[in-house]
Amino acid sequence: MSVQVFTGFHHSAIRSPDLQRSVSFYEEIGFHQVHDWRLPSYGIDRAIMMQAPDRKSWIELFDLKAEIPMQGVGAQQGQKVSTGALAHLCLSVTDLDQACVRIVEAGARHLHGPEALTLGQPEVRVRNAIFEGPAGEIIELLQPVRFPGDQPA
């Protein structure tokens, strides 16, 4: 058996039409800026890494000029374009109702939920809600859930 080199989710990257609005939005829901940089050779005027409150994951924010590999746009001349690869970000929350109020106050647009769903066999009950963030990103909020195949922490 080979050694497991993949350890979990690190970050999602988002290009934003209003970088400061996106930074403020994620700060309002508990993320904090941990780094920013410029990389002119990739058209990056400003990029910002935002750490999640659990300190285990991040969201990376770019301005619209960033020339990076991304959903719907080829990174190099002749590269096949991939569309629809990023469905949504999913953020863990401890209290879904409170998080729904907070994310709307921060500037998200409510799309659906909260709702309780039963998934698969054996049945797993989840409670979630869906929003649109300031850059058009779809954000799912999910209360804690354990799946039958989860390994203990």
The amino acid that residue 60 corresponds to is E
- The model's confidence at residue 19, banded by pLDDT at 50, 70 and 90, is very high
Sequence letter at residue 73? V
> Between 112 and 76, where is the model more confident?
112
Confidence check: pLDDT of 5 > 70:
no
Domain with residue 41: its CATH number is 3.10.180.10
Give 12's pLDDT tier (boundaries 50, 70, 90). Answer: confident
CA separation (Å) from 153 to 9, 10, 41, 139, 146? Answer: 15, 17, 41, 25, 11
| 109 occurs within a structural domain | yes
Q: Which of 5-14, 37-46, 66-75, 91-100 has the lowest mean pLDDT?
A: 66-75
**Does residue 95 lie in a domain region?**
yes
State the pLDDT at residue 83.
47
Let me know if residue 76 belongs to a domain. Answer: no
pLDDT at residue 49, rounded to an integer: 87
pLDDT tens, 122-143? Answer: 888 889 998 989 988 888 888 8
Domain that includes residue 120, residue range: 11-69+86-142
Q: Is residue 3 part of a domain?
A: no
Q: Does 149 map to a domain?
A: no
Give the pLDDT of residue 120: 81
What 109-118 contacts at long range (C-beta under 8 Å, 24+ apart), as own/partner pairs, is: 111/138, 114/141
Tally of domains in the chain? 1
Contact 29, 76 (CB under 8 A): no
Per-residue pLDDT reduced to its tens digit, 55-110: 888 888 888 887 776 555 555 566 554 445 566 788 888 889 999 999 999 999 99
pTM of the predicted protein model: 0.71
Taking CA atoms, 113 is separated from 91, 100, 110, 139, in Å, by 15, 9, 8, 12
